[in-house]
Amino acid sequence: MSRVDLEHVSKRYAVATALNDVSLSFRDGEFFGLLGPSGSGKTTLLRAIAGFVEPDEGSISFDGRRVENVPVHKRQIGMVFQNYALFPNLTVAGNIAFGLSVRRVTGAEASRQVSEMLELVRLTGLNERKPRELSGGQQQRVALARALVTRPKVLLLDEPLGALDRRLRQEMQVELKDIQRETGVTTIFVTHDQEEALTLSDRIAIIDQGRLMQMGQPREIYERPATIFAAQFLGDANIFIGKRESDGIVLPDGERIRAPGTATTVVVRPEKMRVFAASRAVPAEASNRIEGHIMQAVYSGASVTYHIRVARGVGRPLLVFAQNLEGEVLAPETSVTVAWSPDHTVPVEA
Tens of pLDDT, residues 269-317: 999 999 998 778 888 888 899 999 999 999 888 889 999 998 766 768 9
Q: Please, which pLDDT band fits residue 25 given cuts at 50, 70 and 90? A: very high
Residue 164 confidence (pLDDT) above 90 = no
Taking a C-beta distance cutoff of 8 angstroms, is the pair 34, 22 a contact? no
Is 51 strand, coil or helix? coil
Task: Give the C-alpha separation, 32 to 26, whole Å.
Answer: 7
**Averaged over 59-83, what is the pLDDT?**
90
Alpha-carbon distance of 188 to 34, in angstroms, equals 7
Reply yes or no on whether the pLDDT at 254 is more than 90.
Answer: no
Domain 4-226 identical in fold to domain 236-347: no
Region 133-153: mean pLDDT is: 89
CA distance 193 to 317: 24
Domain extent listing, the chain: 4-226, 236-347
Spatial separation of the C-alpha atoms in residues 160 and 143, rounded to whole Å: 9
The whole-number pLDDT of residue 313 equals: 60
Give the Cα separation of 161 and 30 in Å (integer): 19
Indicate the CATH number for domain 236-347.
2.40.50.100
What are the pLDDT digits (tens) for 31-57? 999 999 989 999 999 999 999 999 999
CA–CA separation, 343 and 266 (whole Å)? 11
CATH code for the structural domain at 4-226: 3.40.50.300
